[in-house]
Amino acid sequence: MIVVKFALPKGHLGTDTMKMLERAGYQISGQDRTYRPGINDPGIELKILRPQEIPTYVSEGVQDVGISGRDWVAENKADVEVLLDLEYSKVRLVLAVPKTLIMVDSLSDLVRRSAERGEVLRISTEYLNAAKEYLKANPAYRELYGGAEPVVVTPWWRIGENERVMVYLSFGATEAKPPEDADAILEVVDTGTSLQQNGLKVIEEVMRTSALLIANRDSLSDPGKRVKIMDILTLLRGAVDGAKKLHIFANVKRSNLKPLLEQLPALKRPTISELSDPDWCAVNTVIDKERFIEMLPTLRALAQGLVVYEPRQVLPLEEIATGNGGPV
């Protein structure tokens, strides 16, 4: 039997991932005790890894499919197929400096300030590639240093030629680095509370990120593995879409049915069922959750006995089957 290797992330991203998998219908066991939890699908082999590692392992084919953040896919420059934005763990990758730098409101301000003072600009981050590329694309950096590579420093190597701008690898607690060990940090934030508590302010947003379902390109080309990967995609896409939909049931007088459908174009291809009373019928359909409040006055006026619930999944079977719901 062909088995697909599926890498799941540790940490905060891992907690949200387990919730999404459960919503999709998977039953995961032993994740608190082992890095190789069980799953109720014999065609899938799970392994828990750090989200920073997953894009590389998927790109190299060590894992067939995985879940990691968009930030880590970009940071690793991973050659993977992005199958689906899972739309959870939404955070921002930002550049932050001490609040005491009152006149610094952008990276350009920061670059020029350090150059004018004859000081080395030091940036601490886990995202070395993102920091380097963001610096090189900055107008002030290009004006002062041209295409010179900022120096990137880790415990194992040191690369780059522009000694006036240094990017240091952080192993965590990045917010604590300024001002003694760094002039700025490149870090992911959710609410920004941690930055504020450490006396920092955001001066630029580098990227918005969320969890992604990614796949190895060769695995997708393998007919046997592709079938299972498309199963995973279908169930997870159904869970993502289900969280944005509402399933509604309503009894409607036949005389009100046409006005109801005309006034509510969001009711796409509803199921109309007969009731024991020939003057009434039942309407059964799925709508966008964000449209419900807008539609409620019309439903109250023209329908009766409205029942609403959130579906666990809405499976896009036709789109996946035709390839429209495949790699994106």
- What pLDDT tens digit does each residue of the chain (328 aa) get? 889 999 999 988 999 999 999 999 999 998 888 999 999 999 999 999 999 999 999 999 999 999 999 999 999 999 999 999 999 999 999 999 999 999 999 999 999 999 999 999 999 999 999 999 999 999 999 999 999 999 999 999 999 999 999 999 999 899 999 999 999 999 999 887 889 999 999 999 999 999 999 999 999 999 999 999 999 999 999 999 888 888 888 999 998 988 888 877 666 678 899 888 889 999 988 888 888 888 888 888 888 888 888 877 777 666 665 454 544 4
> Residue 137 domain-assigned?
yes
Q: What is the pLDDT of residue 146?
A: 94
Q: What is the pLDDT of residue 83?
A: 96
Q: What is the pLDDT of residue 120?
A: 97
Backbone angles phi, psi at 78, to 5 degrees: -75, 130
Q: d(Cα 97, Cα 179) in Å, to the nearest integer?
A: 8
Helix axes 128-136, 107-117, angle to 10 degrees: 80
Can you say how many angstroms the Cα of residue 235 is from the centroid of all Cα atoms in its chain? 17
Strands 162-169 and 121-125: parallel
Q: Are 283 and 250 in contact (CB under 8 A)?
A: yes
Strands 121-125 and 271-274: unpaired
Say yes or no: 82 and 219 in one domain. Answer: yes
Say yes or no: 104 and 196 in one domain. Answer: yes
Say yes or no: 118 and 61 in one domain. Answer: no
Q: For position 285, which CATH number holds? A: 3.30.70.120
Q: Which domain range does residue 24 map to?
A: 4-89+210-242
Q: Are 207 and 74 in contact (CB under 8 A)?
A: yes
Q: How many domains does the chain have?
A: 3
| DSSP 3-state of 1 | coil
Backbone angles phi, psi at 144, to 5 degrees: -85, -35
Say yes or no: 168 and 219 in one domain. Answer: no
Q: What are the tens digits of pLDDT across the range 208-218?
A: 999 999 999 99
Q: Give the tokens for residue 170.
A: 């952080």
Please enumerate in sequence order all residues whose Cβ is within 8 A of that of 296, keeping only pairs 6 or more positions apart, or say none: none
Say yes or no: 104 and 176 in one domain. Answer: yes
Say yes or no: 192 and 227 in one domain. Answer: no
Say yes or no: 205 and 215 in one domain. Answer: no
> Residue 188 domain-assigned?
yes
Q: Are 250 and 306 in contact (CB under 8 A)?
A: yes
Q: d(Cα 306, Cα 299) in Å, to the nearest integer?
A: 8
Q: For position 106, which CATH number holds? A: 3.40.190.10
Say yes or no: 83 and 217 in one domain. Answer: yes
> Residue 254 domain-assigned?
yes
Residue that finishes a domain, picked among 209, 231, 258: 209
Q: What is the pLDDT of residue 70?
A: 96
Say yes or no: 22 and 117 in one domain. Answer: no
Specify the DSSP class assigned to residue 155: S
> Residue 322 domain-assigned?
no
Say yes or no: 76 and 185 in one domain. Answer: no
> Residue 48 domain-assigned?
yes
Q: What is the pLDDT of residue 269?
A: 76
Say yes or no: 96 and 204 in one domain. Answer: yes
> Residue 51 domain-assigned?
yes
* List of E strands, the chain: 4-9, 28-29, 38-39, 44-49, 65-69, 81-85, 91-98, 121-125, 150-153, 158-159, 162-169, 184-189, 200-209, 211-215, 245-253, 271-274, 280-288, 303-309
Q: d(Cα 275, Cα 71) in Å, to the nearest integer?
A: 53
CA angle 9, 127, 162 (to 5 degrees): 160
Per the listing, tokens 């240093």 go with 145
Say yes or no: 205 and 104 in one domain. Answer: yes
